[in-house]
Amino acid sequence: MVRQEAQREQTASMEDYLETIANLGEGRKVVRVKQISEMLGVKMPSVTSALKKLSEQELVEHERYGHIKLTPEGDKVARDVIRRHKALTRFFAQALGIDHETAEEDACKIEHVISPLSMERLAKFVEFIGACPLGRTNFPSRYEYYLEHGELPQDCSNRSVKKRK
């Protein structure tokens, strides 16, 4: 319950800017203030202002009216945000069966606040159910049945565990 700001390196906002710049810059594409502003749903002056802060921290290279580019350090931070984002999206979509849009929205929020430990475990969970056929057949199918019918499938009781031959 205690809210003792865990001294994150970056705020959620700044992480969003870095993430967006990395995504827009994929494949050496030129990144523009306008694009960033549209992607994040903010006005251009907000972007300019964020770029100024990120430049001061040497996470972004940016000169007036000029190019926008992540520094190696900025890229490192961005990659990490993107890694969390992807793992969370996979979790919501693949493990919980959430529609992709909602999965994305939740990932966007949670990526900024989740602890490294939970993040790691969550990623492993997704890996696990993807990799383990037993996980896949026993978990998702019965889980989906449960979601749909609100009660456990027939073979899901203490008795059936033993009885099965």
Q: Which residues bind a copy of itself (CB under 8 A)?
A: 1-4, 6, 16, 19-20, 23, 39-42, 92, 95-99, 102-106, 108-110, 113-115, 117-118, 121-122, 124-125, 127-128, 131-135, 137-139, 142-143, 146-147, 152-153, 155-158, 160-161
Q: Does 3 bind DNA (CB under 7 A)?
A: yes
Q: Which of 28, 65, 116, 158 binds DNA (CB under 7 A)?
A: 65
- CA-to-CA distance for 96 and 29, rounded, in angstroms? 34
Cross-strand pairs, 61? 69
**Nearest distance from residue 10's CB to a copy of itself, in Å?**
15
Which span (33-41, 71-79, 81-89, 102-110) binds DNA, by CB under 7 A? 33-41
Specify the residue, 75 or 105, whose C-beta has the smaller distance to a copy of itself: 105
The residue (of 32 and 142) whose beta carbon lies closer to a copy of itself is: 142
Q: Which residues bind DNA (CB under 7 A)?
A: 3, 11-14, 16, 32-35, 40-53, 62, 64-66
